[in-house]
C-alpha cells in the first residue's frame, strides 16, 4: 500500500474521477457534497485532505473510497490496481483534466440482480418483470451497495458511464437527487449503443427508468411472447436531458431508425431537438414521440415513457404502438 500511495496522490485522483473545481486552491468546494462556501482542502503533496465543515479527513485511499463509493476493503484493492499502471500521477496538472483526455473510470464491482431484486425493482418502477429481466440479460442493469445503500445501476459493456438509483426510491443524501452519475463517468455516453449494433431500430430514452420501461415495451409490442426476445427495436439511454450524444458514439447510430423519447417538459423538449440534430448529422432516420395529451389511469398526465405503462384505456387506444 505504501508503494501505491507513493505513485498516486489526491491531485491525480481528482483528475481521474473528473471531479469539479480546482483541487489546488485551498480551500476549494467539496466534491462529495453540496458546498456553497469553500471548505475543502488538499495539502501541497496531495497526500491528505480535510473537510473543514464536516471534520472528515484522510489520505489518498480514504479519498478514493469517497470518490468511488466502494466499501473500504474493495476501495483498497481498486486503489492498488489503479496504482499498478492504470493512471499516471500528474502532480503538476491543472484540475480538471480536459474532456478529450478523460480516462476510463473505475467503478465498483457491480453484480447481476437476484430474482427478489428484479421483482422489487419491477414493483418500484411499475414495470413488468419481463422488461427488467430483459435489461439484465442484455448486460445493462446491475446492482450494488453504494454509500451503504442498496442500488440499481444502468451501465453497459463499455463501462465508461454508470448511473445509480436507490432501491428504496429515495434521494442520495450526498447530492440531493435520485439519480447519481458515478464519479469519472463519461456522462454523455449513450448506454447500450454498442449492444444495439445488430438491431435496425433504436428507442432513444431519457434516463434510467424510461430505459427499463422501453425494454418492457419492446417485448410487449414486438416479441411474439413476453418470454421471447425476437424484437427489432432495442432501447438506448441518455442519462440526462442536458447531455449531448458523445462524439465517439454518434457514428454508431448511422443508418438506424431512431425514435426519441424525451420527457414532456422544457428540458426534455430541448434534449429531443439537440439529439435529433446530432443524429441527422450521421444519417440516422429520426423522429420523436410526443406524450402531449396522454393520461394515466389516475388522471395525471403522462410525462415520460415510464408513465406510459400506466396509461388509461383511451390513451392506449390513441397510441396503439410506441416503438419504431
- pLDDT tens for 213-246 read 999 999 999 988 888 989 999 999 999 999 999 9
Distance separating alpha carbons of residues 121 and 169, to the nearest angstrom = 9
Could you tell me which residue, 129 or 22, shows the higher pLDDT?
Answer: 129
- For residue 102, the model assigns a pLDDT of 65
- For residue 95, the model assigns a pLDDT of 39
Burial zone of 155 (CB within 10 Å; 0-12 exposed, 13-18 middle, 19+ buried) = buried
Query: In the chain, which residues fall in CATH 3.90.580.10?
Result: 2-101
For residue 27, is the peptide bond before it cis, meaning its omega torsion is within 30 degrees of 0?
yes
Number of alpha carbons in the 13 Å side-chain half-sphere of residue 242: 1
**pLDDT (tens digit, 9 = 90+) per residue, 36-72?**
788 889 998 889 998 888 888 889 999 998 888 788 8
- For residue 185, the model assigns a pLDDT of 93
Considering just the CA atoms, what is the radius of gyration of the chain in Å?
21
Mean pLDDT of the chain: 89
Beta strands 149-154; 163-166: pairing state: antiparallel
Q: Which CATH number fits domain 2-101: 3.40.47.10, 2.60.120.10, 3.90.580.10, 3.40.50.2300?
A: 3.90.580.10
For residue 255, how many other CB atoms are within 10 A of its CB?
11
Average pLDDT over residues 277-287: 95
pLDDT band at 181 (very low <50, low <70, confident <90, very high): very high
For residue 96, is the peptide bond before it cis, meaning its omega torsion is within 30 degrees of 0?
yes
Q: Examine the pLDDT at 153 and tell me if it is beyond 80.
A: yes
Print the SS3 string covering 52-103: CCCCCEECHHHHHHHHHCCCHHHHHHHHHHHHHHHCCCCCCCCCCCCHHHCC
User: How far, in Å, are 1, 17, 43 from residue 8 at the CA level?
Assistant: 11, 13, 14
Average pLDDT over residues 184-199: 94
Buried-state track 57-89, b at ≥16 Cβ within 10 A, e below 16: eeebbbbbbbbbbbbeebbbebbbebbeeebeb
Average pLDDT over residues 270-286: 95
Q: Examine the pLDDT at 194 and tell me if it is beyond 70.
A: yes
Q: Do 258 and 284 form a contact (C-beta atoms < 8 A)?
A: yes
Q: What percent of the chain has a predicted confidence (pLDDT) above 70?
A: 94
Kindly report whether the global pTM for this prediction surpasses the value 0.85. Answer: no
Amino acid at each position: 500500500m505504501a508503494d501505491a500511495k507513493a505513485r498516486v496522490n489526491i491531485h491525480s485522483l481528482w483528475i481521474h474521477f473528473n471531479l469539479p473545481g480546482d483541487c489546488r486552491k485551498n480551500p476549494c468546494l467539496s466534491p462529495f457534497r453540496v458546498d456553497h462556501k469553500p471548505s475543502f482542502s488538499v495539502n501541497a503533496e496531495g497526500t491528505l485532505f480535510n473537510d473543514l465543515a464536516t471534520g472528515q479527513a484522510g489520505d489518498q485511499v480514504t479519498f478514493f473510497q469517497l470518490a468511488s463509493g466502494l466499501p473500504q476493503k474493495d476501495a483498497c484493492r481498486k486503489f492498488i490496481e489503479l496504482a499498478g499502471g492504470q493512471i499516471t500521477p500528474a502532480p503538476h496538472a491543472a484540475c480538471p483534466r480536459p474532456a478529450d483526455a478523460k480516462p476510463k473510470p473505475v467503478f465498483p464491482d457491480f453484480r447481476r440482480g437476484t430474482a427478489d431484486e428484479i421483482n422489487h425493482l419491477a414493483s418500484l418502477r411499475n414495470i413488468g418483470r419481463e422488461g427488467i429481466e430483459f435489461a439484465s440479460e442484455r448486460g445493462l442493469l446491475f446492482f450494488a451497495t453504494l454509500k451503504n445503500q442498496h442500488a440499481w445501476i444502468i451501465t453497459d459493456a463499455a463501462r465508461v458511464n454508470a448511473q445509480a438509483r436507490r432501491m428504496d426510491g429515495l434521494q442520495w443524501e450526498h447530492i440531493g437527487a435520485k439519480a447519481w452519475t458515478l464519479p469519472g463517468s463519461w456522462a454523455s455516453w449513450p448506454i447500450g449503443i454498442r449492444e444495439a449494433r445488430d438491431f435496425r431500430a433504436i428507442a432513444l430514452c431519457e434516463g434510467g427508468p424510461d430505459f427499463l420501461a422501453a425494454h418492457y415495451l419492446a417485448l410487449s409490442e414486438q416479441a411474439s411472447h413476453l418470454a421471447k426476445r425476437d424484437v427489432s427495436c432495442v432501447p438506448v439511454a441518455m442519462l440526462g436531458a442536458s447531455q449531448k450524444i458523445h462524439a465517439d458514439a454518434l457514428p454508431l447510430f448511422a443508418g438506424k431508425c431512431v425514435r426519441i423519447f424525451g420527457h414532456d417538459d422544457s428540458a426534455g423538449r430541448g434534449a429531443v431537438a439537440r439529439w435529433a440534430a446530432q443524429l441527422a448529422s450521421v444519417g440516422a432516420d429520426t423522429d420523436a414521440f410526443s406524450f402531449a395529451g396522454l393520461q394515466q389511469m389516475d388522471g395525471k398526465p403522462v410525462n415520460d415513457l415510464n408513465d406510459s405503462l400506466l396509461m388509461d384505456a383511451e390513451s392506449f387506444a390513441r397510441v396503439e404502438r410506441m416503438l419504431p
